[in-house]
Amino acid sequence: MVKRAPLTTASAALLSVAWATALAALAIPAARAAAPEHAPAANTASSSAAATGPAAATPPVTPDPYADGSEQSGATKAAVCFSCHGPNGNSQNPAWPRLAGQNAVYIAEQLHLFKAGTRQNPVMQPMAAGLSDQDIDNVAVFFAAQTPTGLEADPSYWKAGQALYLHGDAASGVPGCVACHGPVGRGNPAAGYPALEAQQSVYVVSQLQSYANGTRYSGPSATTAAPNSIIMFDIAKRLTPEEIRDVASYVQGLR
């Protein structure tokens, strides 16, 4: 039996907002709500809404990398990233995230957090340290413009993962991922929610685990390091290892 974290008053209030958003996002015709039985990756809803989290510390990012960045300049600077993240951001190593199609706002945010040492990684920190703000915007818009490709969802887990992604688990205070990350995992750039479509399931598992154990970011304000991080810290610690595995498999197959 996996023991879940207790639901505090503050967390309950936070998650009630996410639940309300999830329910609004799922107010769609029933005929479009179910994924085809033969396809582990499918469009399962027609729209999504962004959940609104509590105020959080704002990371040092430029206002709009889409306006400030150059895809052409980013292509040159991003070439060194291909050794880990794959050609045009489609990583073949399950430990490294796919960046193709990731929204530029999120990429820029995370590069700034690596550069500041708030998000620690022995490879990414020195890489980010050498990037100017303009470099970061250029790299971000380059990867955002690429098309994600990847593996399929594991047939043993994707249905359970789909149920959690779309509907969450009310009993444990887990809202559906669709509310923030969208029906096909494309995220919400305006709200800062990252895309999940085609993401490596091994990487997704590792990141959900780091949210759950509080190590995704470091420092005295780790839970508010990014505008929406407190939401993920609260949600991830309520997921069982099996739920993390299932939802990670499902998003790997999303296109």
Please compute the mean of the pLDDT values over residues 52-60 and round it to a whole number: 42
Q: Is 137 helix (H, G, I), strand (E, B) or coil?
A: helix
Name the pLDDT band for 148 (thresholds 50, 70, 90).
very high
Q: Between 17 and 30, where is the model more confident?
A: 17
d(CA 152, CA 86): 17
Topology adopted by domain 9-25+42-55+151-252: Cytochrome Bc1 Complex; Chain D, domain 2 (1.10.760)
Q: What is the pLDDT of residue 106?
A: 96
Handedness of CA 80, 81, 85, 90 (dihedral sign): negative
Domain boundaries, the chain: 9-25+42-55+151-252, 65-144
Q: Do the two domains 9-25+42-55+151-252 and 65-144 of this chain adopt the same fold?
A: yes
Q: What is the pLDDT of residue 150?
A: 79
pLDDT above 70: residue 233: yes
> Tell me: the pLDDT tens digits for 192-201?
899 999 999 9
Handedness of CA 78, 80, 83, 84 (dihedral sign): negative
Please compute the mean of the pLDDT values over residues 33-43 and round it to a whole number: 32
Element (H, E) at 11: helix 9-25
Contact between residue 2 and residue 234 where contact means Cβ atoms under 8 Å apart:
no
d(CA 215, CA 20): 28
Q: What is the pLDDT of residue 13?
A: 47
Query: What is the residue-averaged pLDDT of the chain?
Result: 81
Q: What is the pTM of this model?
A: 0.77
Please compute the mean of the pLDDT values over residues 226-238 and round it to a whole number: 94
pLDDT above 70: residue 19: no
d(CA 225, CA 59): 6
Contact between residue 169 and residue 19 where contact means Cβ atoms under 8 Å apart:
no
Class of domain 65-144 as given by CATH:
mainly alpha
Taking the CA atoms of residue 160, residue 166, residue 169 and residue 175 in that order, the dihedral angle to the nearest 10 degrees is 140
Q: Between 93 and 43, where is the model more confident?
A: 93
Q: Between 42 and 158, where is the model more confident?
A: 158
Q: What is the pLDDT of residue 3?
A: 39
pLDDT above 70: residue 62: no
Side-chain-facing half-sphere of 140: CA atoms under 13 Å: 29
Please compute the mean of the pLDDT values over residues 171-179 and round it to a whole number: 97
Contact between residue 236 and residue 214 where contact means Cβ atoms under 8 Å apart:
no
Q: What is the pLDDT of residue 220?
A: 87
Please state, as a whole number, how many other Cβ atoms lie within 10 Å of the Cβ of residue 208: 22
Q: What is the pLDDT of residue 159?
A: 96
Taking the CA atoms of residue 214, residue 218, residue 221 and residue 224 in that order, the dihedral angle to the nearest 10 degrees is -60
Q: What is the pLDDT of residue 63?
A: 67
> Among 11-25, 86-100, 150-164, which stretch is predicted with the lowest mean pLDDT?
11-25
What is the percent of the chain where pLDDT is above 90? 69
Please compute the mean of the pLDDT values over residues 61-70 and round it to a whole number: 82
Q: What is the CA radius of gyration of the chain?
A: 17
d(CA 175, CA 229): 15
d(CA 122, CA 215): 14
